[in-house]
Structure 1
């Protein structure tokens, strides 16, 4: 059985010399959990680095396909992360990079989307990408969220990082028009990267 893995990586450091960010080493990932049809219990392995600066979650069942049941055409996963950081700052997610694999017959449509939100707070930021067959390739897309949703000042709330893979069959299904969308990689090199953005409050 081929094990397909997705590393999900959170980059805590802000980019650029003029970026506003908490002092080095003051932001830590305390804990995480995961839930969803693309990451059932027991199908993911996660690790927080010893310094709390990186989180990697490896998934083995995250794909949407037309080859199985109707419910298998859509898969999602939410990784909930608990962060600690100094007072006087609020955090958001600036960009996300999604990498994976597509195999779509003529007319089949594959969709990936990502979004994030803070527990107990209104507002969700998301982006969506669609792909139409014929396609058989690895993909990589990086998007900046047009609307930033920030945490509350002085209140630590969990950051929820969500994603979804979906496939719609094309004409002639099931003889043709099949599709597969994996948010993972056959060569184990694919990942999601979430870049955090900070503001003073």
Structure 2
């Protein structure tokens, strides 16, 4: 199963005057149990503002042993923007599919940190069984981590699905086999 990840790094939740004039993705790296260079592909848009990632392994299931109960993908984005700004990840929206049996759970989580800064911010949602169907969660992340002013560090985002109990499957793809993970970055002029 393939899943689609769209990262739009120029969505801004602050007034336009606080937005940098140009923000682009300078580099992309990824690794994890749910994504690797053999089962994952990515494409940068022509303007270097949108990253699309096709996952092949973001499926957590209780049927595949301990290692199969948790799948994750850590993506590191090198952002390029002019001096005079600081950023934090403001909002994340994730969609997927879950088939969770009685007395079982499925968990979707996104966390992020900024290279060179201390701290990690999390958004976690848990589905209790019995549940079968698509899910969609939008979370406003705690703004506890801001990049240093006049520094363009990497934004590191970890997405994961995990399951517990006797019978559970959780994926990062919906019934149409597309998964969107949308990130909104907040900017601060400094």
In structure 2, the residue matched to 1:8 is 6
- Root-mean-square deviation over aligned CA pairs: 1.5
Matches within 5 A, 1:28-107: 28-107=24-103
TM-score, normalisation: structure 2:
0.94
Name the structure with the higher strand share: 2
User: What number of residue pairs does the alignment pair up?
Assistant: 190
Deviation at 1:188, TM superposition (A): 2.6
CA contact (8 A) 1:6 1:60 kept: no
Structure 1 length normalisation: TM-score? 0.89
Counterpart for residue 173 of structure 2: 184
Larger of the two Rg values belongs to structure? 1
List per-residue Cα deviations over 1:106-164 (Å, max 9, x = no partner).
11111111111012210111111111111100000000012331111122211101111
For the Cα contact (< 8 Å) 1:6–1:185, is it kept in 2?
Answer: no
2-structure distance, mates of 1:147, 1:53: 22
Q: Following TM superposition, by how much is the alpha carbon of 1:43 offset from its aligned partner in structure 2, in angstroms? A: 1.3
Unaligned runs of 5+ in 2: none
The answer (yes or no) to whether the contact 1:116–1:124 under 8 Å persists in 2 is: yes
Structure 1: which 5+ runs fail to align?
A: 170-176
What is the distance in 2 between the residues matched to 1:185 and 1:133? 18
Displacement of 1:87 in angstroms is 0.4
